Structure 1
Amino acid sequence: MKLKPTITIALCLISSFSCNANHVASSEAIAAMTLPNDDVLYGAPTQPSWAKGATIAQGRPRGDAAPIWWTDDVLDKSIIDSDPWNGMTIWFTGFEAQSNRINDFRVAMSRPEVWLLHASDEKRSISKAYWERLPDIQFSWSAYFSRDVANYIEDANATYLDNGELKYQISSDHYPTHGGTQKIEIDGENVLGVFVRVRAWLEPTNGISKRDLSDAKYLINIGADYYPNVDSDVAAGDFAGTGYLPGAMGSRFAYVSEEPRWFYAATVSQENAEIVDKSSRFIKNGGRTYLTQEELLRNSPDIDSY
């Protein structure tokens, strides 16, 4: 159920780069934003694009990069101009596969690691841009949601550890689990892209053996949301008319197993891919909300240092 190593190796070979840690991580991120979901999500609607694979909605932290289906509905039009958005959260969603038959396990997740790509020249050249590793953050909330991930059901049975790990029991009623970090203050002025990774694995509960756990079919995706600023609040009505954020990007849903591994998401896509929402005024005016695969492989975050 794991991502096959041959996918990463093939991407490295295609890119004509050596497969050091940076390029391996970037290749994994490309796969996470390119391949379809590993399985059918339990009870999820089939229409949303996230039910099939990765998505890039807003992509860049600026108001005019938000998709038109969001900007048309939000009442506060002052936040949809070209000004930068300066807040961000990292989130995850976990689903059982439709065919899952094992429920006695919990999901463990590390603290997210986040990099932002900043332009360093007036032309905002990707090749001259630099990656900034953001300070350590951790998931601070998790809850069970309706199967369309639109409505809160109840807080998840979760533990938040001092080392930044989150461990949550999956819902006995097969609801998906959605959670995230507190808002992070960023300088969105010259941000060209975002790169996120989280380590995740399964742990047995109620006496289930690790051997039986290998038959569990559970998937997660990860992603990011931008906010106009760190004080922006959905619950306070700041996004009246919509009641939610457009979202920067979200990865495909991939299997989690008992063996810890990294899960990736990034604003990276093939040219003209369907995962990119192209309805925003920013794109209509000639802008681009994602990095190409080659751009990411040529200018990767410095994973080697961490």
Structure 2
Amino acid sequence: MKASPVAVPFRGAKKNSPRPPALARAVAVACITMTTLAACGSGGGLDEANPEAVAAAKAAAERTLAGHASGNTESQAPSTTEPIANDGPTNRADTPDDRESIVGRVAGGDEAEPGAGSSDTVAAVNRVDTLISDMDLMNDITLKGVNASHGFATGPGHVIMGNNPRGTNTPDWYKRSYPWLATDSYWNYLLPWFVHFEGEGNQASNTRIEMRNMRVFMKRRSNGEWSQVNRSQSVGAIECAQASNYFECPLSGDVRKEAEGVSALPLAGHNLHGWWGSREYVEGWDIAAVVVTLQARLGVHATNGVDDRSKARYLVQVGADYYPSDGSPEAVLPAVGISRAKLLTSEWQSISMTTLSDVGKQEPGGGITAAELRASPPPLD
């Protein structure tokens, strides 16, 4: 039975935390996806019938966050004004997603050549078809070390709070666990995040994951127009053990600045979970749709070492969280939505989360239809 779908760690710091907004980024998925935890009820939230477990979980979160106050790594990624080749949207409905060709090669034991074709690297880095497929398809390959019952373990994309950022538009387990947040008040802050996964069959040890151009677009109800929300290019990250409950992630992530964005060397047995920028103000009542998109590829770690990118099985997933205020919350947060996990090659490709109302899993969801997205896409270029 699948657990609740939210796929990655979320914040659990107290509101009066002195850390900068970016440091308040999630250190825990807690019970959002982990229905097997002792502290969780059958619905995936903290079990109010188990106060000892709840207290222990909160104490663990506070210890973890305290450790990150001085140990977190943040890297300032260079902004770029140069256009990205083939980074434009398209309304073509006849462009096939050939992601299955990659999955077939991997499943068959063949080594995927660096730059092997994917759903968005041959004709374009980003396009509307890719936005839709990133919410519709399953993960490309099995995630190594991850509990198969977790919602992010298989995919597809999930729309959680979607385009209705209020506590009343959260999963039932969340409203039971945090009734003081289940109000009609709008949550007017948003923070995008990403997660790196190691896939089954990975044999690379000299391969980095490179990232650039994480963008958040919001479509307004008031005028139907898209605008870019995020401004800061700072990147912070933590390392979470693959087999952990994702509630305690005591290791700071090592993110390196590159000519184009940032990169990280995967740490054995861990998944890097990071955030791009800091919480940005959004007018919750005016949100019709949200798109979070990031470009990623494989790079060589040590240039004097072996280029083993063809043996790499690394995936990336993206999403975002709403915040009820521009401060650290007293509870874990459900996501705006999460994308599927996509297998990387040595060519830039996009990974995107879109709040679609008719694609992916709605829990509870809310957004625009795929047809509406095609008719009026965000300015991806």
CA distance in 1, matches of 2:91, 2:224: 26
Greater per-residue strand proportion: 1
Secondary structure in structure 1 of the residue aligned to 2:177: coil
Contact 1:139 1:179 in 2 (8 A): no
Displacement after TM superposition at 1:164 (Å): 7.5
Amino acid corresponding to residue 338 of structure 2 in structure 1: G
**Number of the residue aligned with 2:369:** 292
Amino acid corresponding to residue 176 of structure 1 in structure 2: N
Instruction: Please say if 1:44 is aligned against 2:141.
Output: no
CA distance in 2, matches of 1:255, 1:146: 20
Alignment of 1:166-245 (within 5 A): 166-171=262-267, 173-181=268-276, 182-206=278-302, 207-210=304-307, 212-231=308-327, 233-234=328-329, 238-239=330-331, 244-245=332-333
Amino acid corresponding to residue 166 of structure 1 in structure 2: V
Contact 1:30 1:269 in 2 (8 A): no
Secondary structure in structure 1 of the residue aligned to 2:374: helix
Secondary structure in structure 2 of the residue aligned to 1:111: strand
CA distance in 2, matches of 1:188, 1:164: 32
Amino acid corresponding to residue 118 of structure 1 in structure 2: R
Alignment of 1:88-127 (within 5 A): 88-120=190-222
Once the two structures are superposed, residues 247-270 of structure 1 have per-residue CA deviations (whole angstroms, 9 ceiling, x without a partner) of 110100001111122221111143
Secondary structure in structure 2 of the residue aligned to 1:70: helix
Amino acid corresponding to residue 314 of structure 2 in structure 1: Y
Displacement after TM superposition at 1:95 (Å): 0.7
Contact 2:294 2:351 in 1 (8 A): yes
**Number of the residue aligned with 2:159:** 56
**Number of the residue aligned with 2:343:** 255
Pick from 115, 118, 131 the counterpart of residue 226 of structure 2. Answer: 131
Displacement after TM superposition at 1:156 (Å): 1.6
Alignment of 1:80-91 (within 5 A): 80-91=182-193
Contact 1:149 1:178 in 2 (8 A): no
Contact 1:111 1:139 in 2 (8 A): no
CA distance in 1, matches of 2:174, 2:314: 30
**Number of the residue aligned with 2:235:** 140
CA distance in 1, matches of 2:286, 2:353: 20
Amino acid corresponding to residue 213 of structure 2 in structure 1: R
**Number of the residue aligned with 2:247:** 150
Pick from 333, 353, 356 the counterpart of residue 268 of structure 1. Answer: 356
CA distance in 2, matches of 1:199, 1:118: 24
Amino acid corresponding to residue 253 of structure 1 in structure 2: A
Once the two structures are superposed, residues 126-160 of structure 1 have per-residue CA deviations (whole angstroms, 9 ceiling, x without a partner) of xx622112243325211110224332030122224
Displacement after TM superposition at 1:40 (Å): 0.5
Count of matched residue positions in the alignment of Structure 1 and Structure 2: 259
Q: Percent identity, aligned pairs only?
A: 22
CA distance in 2, matches of 1:135, 1:36: 27
Q: Which consecutive residues of structure 1, in runs of 5 or more, have no partner in the other structure?
A: 1-7, 15-20, 121-127, 279-287
Contact 2:90 2:128 in 1 (8 A): no
**Number of the residue aligned with 1:74:** 178
Contact 1:118 1:130 in 2 (8 A): yes
Displacement after TM superposition at 1:13 (Å): 3.2
Evaluate the alpha carbon distance shift between residue 302 and residue 199 of structure 1 in structure 2; reply closer, same or farther with a 3 A threshold: same
Evaluate the alpha carbon distance shift between residue 134 and residue 103 of structure 1 in structure 2; reply closer, same or farther with a 3 A threshold: same
CA distance in 2, matches of 1:105, 1:45: 25
Amino acid corresponding to residue 191 of structure 2 in structure 1: T
CA distance in 1, matches of 2:315, 2:251: 20
Q: TM-score, normalised by structure 1?
A: 0.77
Amino acid corresponding to residue 93 of structure 2 in structure 1: C
Once the two structures are superposed, residues 36-77 of structure 1 have per-residue CA deviations (whole angstroms, 9 ceiling, x without a partner) of 0001001001112211112111113222112121121115x1
Contact 1:156 1:169 in 2 (8 A): no
Contact 1:116 1:193 in 2 (8 A): yes
Contact 1:111 1:137 in 2 (8 A): no
Displacement after TM superposition at 1:293 (Å): 1.2
Contact 2:212 2:295 in 1 (8 A): yes
CA distance in 1, matches of 2:347, 2:317: 17
Evaluate the alpha carbon distance shift between residue 46 and residue 11 of structure 1 in structure 2; reply closer, same or farther with a 3 A threshold: farther
Contact 1:224 1:248 in 2 (8 A): yes
Evaluate the alpha carbon distance shift between residue 51 and residue 199 of structure 1 in structure 2; reply closer, same or farther with a 3 A threshold: same
Contact 2:91 2:375 in 1 (8 A): no
CA distance in 1, matches of 2:173, 2:251: 28
**Number of the residue aligned with 1:4:** none
Secondary structure in structure 2 of the residue aligned to 1:31: helix
Displacement after TM superposition at 1:186 (Å): 1.4
Contact 2:235 2:275 in 1 (8 A): yes
Instruction: Please say if 1:13 is aligned against 2:94.
Output: yes
Displacement after TM superposition at 1:290 (Å): 2.2
Once the two structures are superposed, residues 11-46 of structure 1 have per-residue CA deviations (whole angstroms, 9 ceiling, x without a partner) of 6139xxxxxx99x62211100000000010010011
